[in-house]
Amino acid sequence: MPELPEVETIKNELSPWVVGQSFTEITILDAKLVCGGSVEEVRRGLIEKKIESLERRGKYLIFHLSNGRSLIMHLRMTGSLLLNPRDVGRYARAVFHLSNGHRLVFSDRRRLGLIWLVDDTKAVVGKMGPEPLDESFTPDILEQRLSRHHIPVKAALLDQCIIAGIGNMYADEALFAARIHPLRKADDLSPGEVQTLYQSIRRVLGAAIGSKGASVDTYVRPEGELGTAHFDFKVAHKGGESCPICGSTIERVPVQNRGTYFCPRCQPFSSRH
């Protein structure tokens, strides 16, 4: 958390408030937030620079600036970007003041998030895989990328170099929707299974964006509201509950040290070989 739908929601809801505005004052409260430079370098590099556009790449939020540089943020597990909170709060790591009088607070309970100020965004996001909701992303591309990896398909979906933006929750939901066991090998899926998985990924992510993301832990939208995508989850975070399709008990297994939820009946462990 946050994953693609949450970061996309943050981008969409922040854009009207920040695009076209300049940074007027910046207070970085935790030096560990800054990656690849010093706190003072980031401050000097942002003050009086206008935000030309806001972009999401995978789980990263990118502020493109008027001087050609970019401020990149990764919220990691517990980060939030809050617009004009009443109080800065005990978990605040940075405060960004804008020329329209608004302020943006980077809050992060576990202090895992990072920011970069870069001349070229490829320095941070250049090795990421394709965006799963782009028009250029096709079933053939998904099949090509999965076929190169003899690892559990759940692990492949989490690998940001294979596909960008999918995290633990939405990988579980997409695999359930496609009726594919998470421990199946990525290079073992049939073309038909890849086609179904492709459609499931896009449907699950699209629906989650429509619901403004999932507030299952610390994620909140910029103005403090919750997302509601988790109300539609079928298996994610539902270990021990009944499958909504067949009534079997949803099981949990670890994949890359991440809790992975699936229905053993709807997602049988079977190979095409």
> What span, in angstroms and rounded, lies between the C-alpha atoms of 28 and 229?
32
Question: Which of the following is catalytic: 11, 56, 59, 221?
Answer: 59
Is residue 179 within 8 A of residue 200, CB to CB? The reply is no
Question: Which of the following is catalytic: 109, 130, 258, 264?
Answer: 258
> What span, in angstroms and rounded, lies between the C-alpha atoms of 15 and 63?
10
| Other beta carbons less than 10 A from residue 39's beta carbon | 17
Q: Is 2 a catalytic residue?
A: yes
Q: Is 207 helix (H, G, I), strand (E, B) or coil?
A: helix
Question: Which of the following is catalytic: 3, 8, 143, 193?
Answer: 3
Is residue 77 within 8 A of residue 95, CB to CB? The reply is no
Helices (H) and strands (E) in the chain, counts: 7, 10
Q: Is 241 a catalytic residue?
A: no
Helix (H) / strand (E) containing 191: helix 191-210
List of E strands, 198-248 = none
State the angle between helix axes of 191-210 and 4-18 in degrees (0 to 180), rounded to the nearest 10: 40
Q: What angle do CA 209, 211, 214 make, to 5 degrees?
A: 85
Q: Is 59 a catalytic residue?
A: yes
Q: Is 50 a catalytic residue?
A: no
Question: Which of the following is catalytic: 2, 132, 152, 222?
Answer: 2
Q: Enumerate the active-site residues.
A: 2-3, 59, 258
